[in-house]
């Protein structure tokens, strides 16, 4: 049951083979057994989860079942959920119980899904290893000595260890796709603006985007059907017709043009990752795809551009956390200014402080034009590179991460090396494009490798079709870590 697809679980619930209460109880028991080892969940509230499960069972009995009714979903702890502790992996929000639901949470509640718990994450989504969390690092189920990736590492670890059938994540520079790759699962960041950011605690508003994480591309499509849609409370939400992301899953791939950027296959990719990616591309050739050489000349600039723009937006967004209205407040201070200083000094971790300082610097008088404005101009060039490439190909493929999961603590003292973990993923956020990662094998120490698939705007259904056809002919997505 723990390895069942969403379709299989939904069918079991619809036929009354199992109730939502029974299904939820099974996953809660698995969390009790495994979470002490992996630290994938920050908050589990069995009473709330089972109450939702009982409500789902009543809906099913009344013939009001939607596809996800009764199915447990793990929620990244960046999404506000009414009555749930919502920490964003930070001491600053370690006592914050949300009084409302995020737009994404509302959509799952409306379909009758069960919130199985809130997953661990890098503090305020800032990190590539899930080591910056105030609640301790998450461990990779394939190797507990390895990181799961970040910032959605808790969600990735939960799905990989089968503590949840599916999970939500957010992606600012690769935070769905990179942990999906490192944990051997599937994950997609949809086109910017398709998933509501209302109630999703902001890191970098022009880059953040929610998305699903699951075992397979088919499950991702079914999750996107619930998660996407216009939300008038989110000024960046796009008003467009609802679509069925599973509609093209069974289409053949003959005639598909896959773009291979020369910049992605240059120096920097480890040999074990390169081998797994090459084998995946060979499988696509067998399925009828054609390989096309393309170039993304400005993609090497994506990391420096990202680490100017994202911290700039973070320094603004995180200014609201001052100890006045909610969250952590320092105990010792003499006046208001000292309360601000002490609260922020004690409430934020080192990585969050680093990015706030960088962001404040690049936005300051005398440096705004030299850094922030120049980065915005380069962002436009990066987006134009993708537009030019898509005139020659249907999708772009390459590695999701330059290497397999690294060891816990290996890069903690070297922020630059940590930032380079997102070298292949951050450009899609800068351009607002959809990107996804699917498992395609194993590299060094039998740690998973992910294939990165990038599509043009609103091409998620086609991307999911491309991933699904690969998964029909391989079994990497069905592999389970020894637990």
- The angle at the Cα of 179, spanning 176 to 182, to the nearest 5 degrees, equals 145
What is the predicted pLDDT for the residue at 29?
98
* pLDDT tops 90 at residue 268: no
**DSSP run (H or E) holding 214:** strand 209-214
When pLDDT is averaged across residues 472-481 and rounded to a whole number, the result is 97
Give dist(CA 76, CA 96) in Å, integer. Answer: 15
- Per-residue confidence at 267, pLDDT binned at 50, 70, 90? confident
Rounded to whole angstroms, the Cα distance separating 273 from 48 reads 42
At residue 28, the pLDDT reads 98
* Domain chopping of the chain, boundaries: 6-255
Cα–Cα dist 139/38, whole Å: 5
Q: Is the pLDDT of residue 167 over 90?
A: yes
Beta strands in 254-377 (DSSP E): 257-261, 290-294
Residues whose CB is less than 8 angstroms from the CB of residue 464 and which lie 6 or more positions away in sequence, other chains included: 188, 217, 218, 220, 221, 224, 245, 246, 248, 249, 436
Note if 271 is an active site residue: no
Whether 175 is catalytic is yes
Q: Which of 48, 76, 189, 411 is catalytic?
A: 76
Residue 266 has what pLDDT? Answer: 83
C-alpha to C-alpha distance for 296 and 432, rounded to whole angstroms: 15
Catalytic residue among 49, 98, 133, 151: 151
Q: What is the pLDDT averaged over residues 354-366?
A: 95
Question: And the tokens for 180?
Answer: 């999906």
Summarised one tens digit per residue, pLDDT across range 410-428 is: 998 898 899 999 999 999 9
Q: Which fold has domain 6-255?
A: Amidase signature (AS) enzymes (3.90.1300)
> What is the full DSSP assignment across 254-290?
TT-EEEEEGGGGSTTS-HHHHHHHHHHHHHHHHTT-E
pLDDT of 36 > 90? The answer is yes
20 catalytic per annotation: no
Query: Quick one: pLDDT at residue 483?
Result: 83
**Stretch 466-478: mean pLDDT:** 98
Find the catalytic residue in 175, 421, 426, 459.
175
pLDDT digits (tens, 9 = 90+) for 441-460: 999 999 999 999 999 999 99
CB 168 within 8 A of CB 213: yes
pLDDT tens digits, one per residue of 60-96: 999 999 999 999 999 999 999 999 999 999 999 999 9
| Alpha-carbon gap, residue 40 to 51, rounded angstroms | 22
Would you state the pLDDT for residue 51? Answer: 98
CA distance 152 to 120: 7
């Amino acid at each position: 049951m723990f390895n069942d697809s969403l379709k299989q679980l939904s069918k079991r619930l619809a036929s009354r083979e199992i109730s939502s209460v029974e299904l939820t109880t099974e996953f809660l028991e698995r969390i009790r057994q495994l979470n002490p080892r992996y630290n994938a969940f920050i908050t589990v509230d069995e009473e709330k989860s089972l109450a939702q499960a009982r409500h789902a069972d009543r809906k099913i009995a009344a013939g009001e079942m939607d596809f996800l009714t009764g199915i447990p979903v793990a929620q990244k702890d960046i999404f506000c959920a009414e009555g749930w502790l919502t920490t964003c992996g930070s001491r600053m929000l370690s006592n914050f119980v949300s009084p409302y639901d995020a737009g994404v949470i509302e959509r799952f509640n409306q379909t009758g899904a069960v919130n199985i718990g809130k997953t661990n994450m890098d503090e305020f989504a800032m990190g590539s290893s899930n080591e910056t969390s105030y609640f301790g690092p998450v461990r990779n189920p394939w190797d507990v000595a390895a990181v799961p990736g970040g910032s959605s590492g808790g969600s990735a670890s939960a799905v990989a260890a089968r503590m949840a059938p599916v999970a939500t994540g957010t992606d600012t520079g690769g935070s769905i796709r990179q942990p999906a790759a490192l944990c051997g699962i599937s994950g997609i960041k949809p086109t910017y603006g398709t998933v509501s950011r209302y109630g999703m605690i902001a890191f970098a508003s022009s880059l953040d985007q929610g998305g699903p994480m699951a075992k397979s591309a088919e499950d991702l499509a079914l999750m996107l059907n619930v998660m996407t849609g216009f939300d008038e409370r989110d000024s960046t939400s796009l008003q467009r017709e609802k679509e069925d992301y599973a509609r093209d899953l069974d289409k053949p791939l003959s005639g598909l043009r896959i773009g291979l950027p020369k910049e992605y296959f240059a120096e920097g990719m480890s040999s074990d990752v390169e081998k797994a990616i090459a084998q995946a591309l060979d499988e696509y050739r067998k399925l009828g795809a054609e390989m096309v050489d393309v170039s993304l000349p400005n993609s090497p600039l994506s990391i420096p551009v990202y680490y100017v723009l994202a911290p700039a937006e973070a320094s603004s967004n995180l200014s609201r956390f001052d100890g006045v209205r909610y969250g952590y407040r320092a105990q010792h201070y003499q006046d208001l200014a000292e309360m601000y200083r002490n609260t922020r000094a004690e409430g934020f971790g080192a990585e969050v402080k680093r990015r706030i300082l960088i962001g404040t610097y690049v936005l300051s008088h005398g440096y705004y034009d030299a850094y922030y404005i120049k980065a915005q101009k380069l962002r436009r060039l990066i987006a134009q590179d993708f537009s030019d490439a898509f005139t020659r190909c249907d999708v772009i493929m390459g590695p999701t991460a330059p290497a397999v999961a690294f060891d816990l603590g290996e890069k903690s003292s070297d922020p630059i090396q940590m930032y380079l973990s997102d070298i292949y993923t951050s450009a899609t956020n800068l351009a607002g494009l959809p990107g996804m990662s699917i498992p395609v094998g194993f590299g060094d120490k039998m740690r998973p490798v992910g294939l990165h698939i990038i599509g043009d705007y609103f091409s998620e259904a086609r991307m999911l079709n491309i991933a699904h056809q690969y998964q029909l002919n391989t079994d990497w997505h069905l592999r389970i870590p020894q637990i």
